[in-house]
Chains A and B, each alone.
Chain A
């Protein structure tokens, strides 16, 4: 107990010096919180887009379809377990406790001609009832309404511009059906979807699933099933369930892929946290260097005092204890300040967001689903993680000067006067 008092008073003795060590720790903890909040929000919002729009938590397709997906083929459809139809398969999947809901979709290529120009697009046949109840689609409708039935389509905002159309207009689309014959059909645009992501908004339109099946000469079939569970964290369990189920049903030609393995970009980003850990550690170590040099000076300055303490019979472990405690205090208080400021900052920017122009240019050109405005993700986990990281690294680092102090011989230490 008396060691704590000594350590504490010593820190107060040179307020400025202690203050700067605290500032260093606080700054690096703040940097860690900021970066983690940034990476997390970047990946989370991007992941959410991928999950909501492309992959579900687990996506089920045929193996052949996954291979040639880019060509938007119509001949590797899923027709359900034992060819009993996709609707019954969807219902069967939804019986499972780990499944929240399932979205069957049909994806196909289509074109429309506008002033000598062929506008290429991707149509997605959607289960209107399900998408309306669960999906992210309905939230992004910027004008008009969600499609209901028949020849109604919901069009991405960018595509809308290319088509030079308005809500209520009729457009004729050309597409190949499942038998490779070129066909045309006229649709009415009933709504516009504006997700803020150009990759989605510029090429995609949505049509009711049964209309898509009808126009493409498909039976009760779908190109993919997006399976959703209750939370991203339980994806693994869902995946295991789905694989078991597919196997039990003898549908080994079906492939279940979790969202974080569906796309190399997503894959890389989901591993980002591990790579970044090294960077965070590097920053904390940099800040710790300041603490170490402060403690080293304190040890040198108090050489005589240390000699006196050891002459009084304090063991070298206790002397080490004093200095480690001082490092620990700096670590705790500095990390606390950093976490507090970082918490406020991430909380603010999780609401307000900030915009980086170069990034906007980058995302609009790259095939990545990311919104160009950055938000910081606020989470207690982040604050606690960074706090612990700061405290632990600083405390460990203070062993070095503490060891130096403990090594001092009492005689030398007492005689260490002026130069």
Chain B
């Protein structure tokens, strides 16, 4: 205990140096907190956009649908299924269940004028679809599907490419279930601009009632059953729970995360980058700590010599220096967390405009507009503990050096 008090006073005695050295740690901590929040904020928006516009919390489809749609260029319309009542009631019993909708998805070429472009067509039931997805709230022209006619809704980027407006004519060419070319044609009824850039370019929405007979599938057939839950946190556990009840069924349930491997790998890459940077910061911080211990030991040579002459053990002196280094770590960590908290406060309140940095949509990341950094107290705790531990570990060698110095040399040096 008295060692602790002594260490605390020594940290305080050289306030200037403690502040200077700990400012390295402050930089490391504040940077980490900012990066972490920026990344989590970005991933949060990305995943939210995926959930709201592309794949909701849980997606149920045939196992072979998942495997084939991943590796082939054309969506496998043949791997459809008709949801049984049993499945529907199982899904409704899931914890946090909110809504569900069936989707029939297939590939087609969107043709208008002299151009054509490959798109993904989502044939949906407008009533239930709007309970699960948010697309209808982002309509910028015309109306979202209302159940009459083909009711084609396209994204704004696609509309731009084709120079199309509501009411203008289009053709979609696709291969039907029998393997022959078939088309859906009519007028564009609506245009959406969602925050998910991919949806705005490559996805076309039509009424399932209209599309099913043309593609040659049963009225009730769907390729995916999309389920919305109350909370993102429930997705994994509930999709696993559903997998258990499905048993030997050829169907598979997966959470939004499994469907968005690109985002997941982006997230990993982001974490890797953040921690790599943190490691570099901490390396410099560790050198700072080593320097602080050595400077302090040189300066207090006589004092240490005296303590040893009085019979204080080397291990006590070692501990004293380690405690002092830990103290610098605590000061740096705490100040860094404080500054980090101020940064996050502004980041959380006013957000950060991603568009001034780069157009993320161009590389396929579903982010646009402002992102807001979330408060992540785990990150604060984590970095604080890491900084203190790194400080203490970095001090071991120089502290050992200081503790083993010969007391006679120390005392006699004038």
Contacts and interface: CB of A to CB of B under 8 A. Distances in A.
B21 interface: yes
Interface stretch (A20-28, A47-55, A94-102, A337-345): A20-28
Given A71-B117, A71-B161, A265-B362, A20 B20 contact: no
Given A68-B161, A116-B78, A359-B269, A73 B114 contact: yes
A286 B298 contact: no
Name the residue in A68, A263, A297 with the highest tally of chain B Cβ atoms < 10 Å from its Cβ. Answer: A297
A180 B20 CA distance: 71
B295 A294 contact: yes
Contact of B288 (A119, A264, A268, A289): A289
A243 B164 CA distance: 32
Name the residue in B16, B74, B364 with the highest tally of chain A Cβ atoms < 10 Å from its Cβ. Answer: B74
Name the residue in A117, A282, A359 with the highest tally of chain B Cβ atoms < 10 Å from its Cβ. Answer: A117
Interface string A336-378: 0000000000000000000010110110011110000000000
Given A24-B288, A283-B280, A286-B281, A365 B265 contact: yes
B288 A290 contact: yes
A14 B265 contact: no
A264 B357 CA distance: 10
Name the residue in B31, B179, B284 with the highest tally of chain A Cβ atoms < 10 Å from its Cβ. Answer: B284
B299 A297 contact: yes
B16 A296 contact: yes
A28 B73 contact: no
Interface in B176-223: 179, 201
Contacts of B291: 17, 20-21, 24, 290, 293-294
B337 interface: no
A405 B17 CA distance: 16
A312 interface: no
Contacts of A75: 114
Contacts of A283: 280, 284
Contacts of A14: 298
Contacts of A117: 72-74, 76
Interface string A277-302: 00000110011011011101100010
A71 B116 contact: yes
Contacts of A293: 17, 20-21, 288, 291-292, 295
Interface string B308-336: 00000000000000000000000000000
B357 to A, nearest CB: 8
A120 B72 CA distance: 10
A368 B299 CA distance: 55
A156 to B, nearest CB: 14
B391 to A, nearest CB: 14
A411 B287 CA distance: 36
B115 interface: yes
Contacts of A66: none
A282 B277 CA distance: 12
A297 B21 CA distance: 12
Contact of A118 (B74, B117, B280): B74
Contact of A290 (B76, B287, B364): B287
Nearest to A67: B161
Contact of A27 (B72, B116, B269, B287): B287
A131 interface: no
Contacts of B31: 282
Contacts of B261: 361, 365
B107 interface: yes
A380 interface: no
Interface of A: 14, 16-17, 20-21, 23-24, 27-28, 31, 68, 70-71, 73, 75, 109, 116-120, 162, 176, 180, 263-265, 267-268, 282-283, 286-287, 289-290, 292-294, 296-297, 301, 356, 358-359, 361-362, 365-368
9 A-B pairs with the lowest CB-CB distances in the bound complex, closest first = A361-B265, A365-B262, A268-B358, A362-B269, A264-B362, A358-B268, A20-B291, A286-B284, A24-B287
23 contacts: A14-B298, A16-B298, A21-B291, A23-B287, A68-B161, A70-B117, A70-B201, A71-B161, A119-B73, A120-B73, A265-B358, A265-B362, A286-B27, A286-B281, A287-B284, A293-B288, A293-B292, A293-B295, A297-B17, A297-B295, A297-B299, A362-B268, A366-B363
